[in-house]
Homo-oligomer: A and B are copies of this chain.
Amino acid sequence: MTFPNHQIIFNAKTFSNDKKTFFEKLDKSKKGEIDAKIIPLLNLLNQKKEHYTTSSCSGRVYLWKGTGKKNETEWLKVSHDFINKDFFSISSLAAAEKGLVWLRLEPLIAHVACKDLDSANKLLAVVRKLYKKSCLLSLSSKIIVEIRGSEFLEMPLYQDGKLLFSAEIDLVQLVNKKLTLIFNGLQKLTASLENF
């Protein structure tokens, strides 16, 4: 691929040092666990000389309250896997939560540092076939490709402890159907990156 109006100078050493430093830091911090479902994708990308992953989520569903801003949002419950009806059980939440409790489902997101614009564009071209909302987040200090799915839910679920939905809809099934799409997408993406 060529870039109109641009000429690219590689600096392979800086990138591989950044990659090494990033993984050393990760080893030291050991905070959090990586979701097992996304590990094959991360391994594939991290084997490439031109890429490494900096953060990822294979998809998740959670209940939250607050304003939605980062420091004004409390997560009440979260699942990175299929749910059952206990997920919505009011007894397992503080039943007297005042105001709105929201249900949110988010797609797969993975951030991938790329050695240069060529390797970023090459990755984007592959992932865009399955994840049209993927894009470049940053070009200034690092070149980061964001792989992003498009499955979402964002809906008010409880108000002052009362369920807002009628029993006619099976929310468990609805959430699990979206999660199935997300996890199937992740498998397809991993397969499509095997020979890239």
Contacts and interface: CB of A to CB of B under 8 A. Distances in A.
Interface string A128-151: 000000011101110000100000
A168 B158 CA distance: 10
A6 interface: yes
Q: Indicate how many identical chains form the complex.
A: 2
A120 B164 CA distance: 44
A36 interface: no
A185 interface: no
Interface SS of chain A: mixed
A174 to B, nearest CB: 7
B164 A139 contact: no
Contacts of A136: 135-137, 139
A168 B157 CA distance: 11
12 contacts: A5-B11, A7-B8, A120-B139, A135-B135, A136-B136, A153-B154, A153-B155, A156-B174, A159-B169, A163-B166, A164-B166, A164-B168
